[in-house]
Structure 1
Amino acid sequence: MKVLDLQCAQHHVFEGWFGSEDDYQSQLTRGLLNCPMCGDANVSKKLSAPRLNLNATESADNATPTLPSLQDAANLEPAQLQAALLKMVRHVVANTEDVGNSFPEEARKMHYGEAEARNIRGHATPEETEGLIDEGIAVMPLPLPDVLKEPLQ
């Protein structure tokens, strides 16, 4: 497995895992590579030292992510912060139910005991979010790039 450092036109840096250089070139040519932060398909390889993933059975990505504290974050490189944010967002997507535009209604139903409590995510306008907070319903806006809402590859 080849691990390549990639970068989109917006300067977001991320890793891509490929079976070979030909696999990378094929996916690039067919437009299958997108930035996980913004969805940009204008992706290129960065210069990097070669790295092979010889232990593909590790499941560190399934662990609950820990984000750096604000104090620690000040000492991290932008790519490290981006990686931590992506890991956290992927964890949220993997462990929540997408209720779409029904988010405000579902959050209220759970808050008032009309529906089973569960982890949900979805869409709410700023006004709807403010209304939920005014009712004492804990919500947290978390903008998700569209590319992260799809199944992860």
Structure 2
Amino acid sequence: MIRFSLACDHDHDFEGWFRNNDDFETQKKRGLVECPACGSHKVEKALMAPAVSTGRKKQKIALAMNAEQQAAMAQLKALSEKLRENADYVGDKFAEEARKIHFGETDARGIYGEATAEEARGLVEDGVEFLPIPVFPDDRN
């Protein structure tokens, strides 16, 4: 995951986490990147300093958030877990299965898995609706 410093056309600064730069660009083109302060979709990456490892033990990200942000993150994580509980995991066959469902080749059902940026672009071009599910630090342990 990559953290980008972002800014909207109303000069609100905020951060966003993306799998990679292509993921950011795809979500931006689909109108999924939005300023949390004003709701503007005119968002650009801002200049940011590179992360430098100091060898010191890092604290959890949640400690850097205020109570409102912690509550929002908890809600987002709960939603992510609920989405996964009510869907079939298809692994790296996500794009293939999503197309089969979209074109009526198999029964409609909730699915989740992984897709490359190229596969995601192809799904968008084919008109397949999907939404990235956030990956949280605890999900990778």
TM-score w.r.t. the length of structure 2 is 0.51
User: Which residue in the other structure is 1:110 paired with?
Assistant: 101
Q: Which runs of 5+ in 1 are unaligned?
A: 1-7, 14-75
Tell me how far 1:9 sits from its aligned partner. Answer: 2.2
Listed one character per residue, the Cα deviations across residues 51-80 of structure 1 (whole Å, up to 9, x for unaligned) are xxxxxxxxxxxxxxxxxxxxxxxxx71111
Secondary structure in 2 matching 1:84: helix
Runs (4+) off by over 6 Å: none
Bigger radius of gyration: 1
User: Which residue in the other structure is 1:144 paired with?
Assistant: 135
Q: What is the total number of aligned residue pairs between the two structures?
A: 82
User: Which residue in the other structure is 1:99 paired with?
Assistant: 90
Q: Does 1:10 align with 2:60?
A: yes
Q: Distance in 2 between matches of 1:93 and 1:149?
A: 15
Q: Which runs of 5+ in 2 are unaligned?
A: 1-57
Q: How do residues 13-52 of structure 1 correspond to structure 2 at under 5 angstroms?
A: none
Residue 108 of structure 1 aligns to which amino acid in structure 2?
R
Q: Distance in 2 between matches of 1:113 and 1:86?
A: 31
CA contact (8 A) 1:93 1:149 kept: no
Percent of residue pairs bearing the same amino acid type: 35
RMSD (Å) for aligned C-alpha atoms:
2.5
Secondary structure in 1 matching 2:106: coil
TM-score w.r.t. the length of structure 1 is 0.47
Tell me how far 1:98 sits from its aligned partner. Answer: 0.6
